[in-house]
Amino acid sequence: MGICFGTAAQIDDTGAGQGFGSRIAVAPGHAQQGSKDANSGKLNDDSEVSVDGQPNLKSFTFDDLRHATKSFSSDGLIGEGGFGFVFKGWINEHNLAPSKPGSGMVVAVKKLKAHSFQGHREWLTELRFLGKLHHENLVKLIGYCSESENRLLVYEFMPKGSLENHLFKRGVQPMDWATRMQVAVDVARGLSFLHSLDANVIYRDLKPSNILIDSKFHAKLSDFGLARKGPTGDGSHVSTRVVGTLGYAAPEYLARGHLSPRSDVYSFGVVLLELLSGKRAQGDETIRGSLVDWAKPLIRDSRHFSRVMDTRLRGEYYKKSVQAVSFLALQCLNNDPQDRPSMSEVLFELQQIKPIKNLP
């Protein structure tokens, strides 16, 4: 996107499992809201949150979760990232007590690495948002553990893993076009809910590794560690530190730290391109440069449009459907955020597109 992050910018490790991925750290020259106070050692601004007052969530002990995950056995490791690990666990679906492996309800347990300040901050943020927000396209947070230096979160288990695996992992059966359309609608519905007046939340880290798939191939947003409240009143954006993931962050956010719901719309446009092409937003070996820079001119030129499409689909898609989705992606990727549609408008447009020709 033509933005230089400088030598201070760092990228975390990418996790292939449930709820972790590579991220941009604070870029030099941007306000570091929510940073650590040098005098008090506490979190400032909207990053500070108490674990008290979460009546909808179960407070687990560390021993509860140790038993639920077979002592955090490596056999149950389903994800790993810069700030911790995700393990498969089992709890009683009625009283949420730990149960024997293979019995009860399957859950995903995210365990933070000790002494990770950034990880602790994201743990608090995720606890605050997912403890209060409930929607069919958001992963359900069941409970948490805050005991001594241990910080854990317990989520519903998503058996089909992440969209990242379905799009990019070798040996995995590729999603057909109708399923990809379903995923796009589900993600748009989740983001539209977050951007609503009642929630007013900017997700800030949309990417395939944070989109999880349930047993019926419906998609849900996970990992709210970078989410924050949106602008209020007449404000068009909030100014904040630059965090997120290379290839998905909106240009105005990278350049000036201006964050708005339309920043999520840009990221959604990138994900639409990934659904169309089966190529990664950044670092795909089959193209030169970013996916956005590669795909835009091809979509605009009908003679070369077919080059954008994922060859693993083997042409089994309704041409008018994929063209409509690609043009919608271009609208989401406008450089000026004011020229992008809102997520509610995107959702409406997606719901009008027939994934296959013979649908009524």
Q: What is the 3-state secondary structure (H, E, C) of 182-219?
A: HHHHHHHHHHHHHHCCCCCEECCCCCHHHEEECCCCCE
Task: Please give the Cα distance from 177 to 172 (Å, whole number).
Answer: 15
Known binding residue 58? Answer is no
C-alpha closest to that of 205 among 278, 126, 113, 288: 126
* Cβ atoms of residues 152 and 119 within 8 Å: no
Q: Which tokens sit at 41?
A: 């050692």
How far apart are the two ends of the chain, measured CA to CA in Å? 40
Q: What one-character-per-residue DSSP string does 63-92 give?
A: HHHHHHTTTT-GGGEEEEETTEEEEEEEE-
205 is catalytic: yes
Task: Please give the Cα distance from 3 to 21 (Å, whole number).
Answer: 21
State the catalytic residue, choosing from 45, 64, 186, 205: 205
Other CB atoms within 10 A of residue 20 CB: 26
SS3 111: strand
The helix/strand count (H/E) of the chain reads as: 9, 12
* Cβ atoms of residues 22 and 245 within 8 Å: yes
Q: Which amino acid is at 62?
A: F
User: Which amino acids are annotated catalytic?
Assistant: 205
Task: Extract the annotated binding site for ATP.
Answer: 111
Could you list the residues known to form a binding site, using ranges: 111
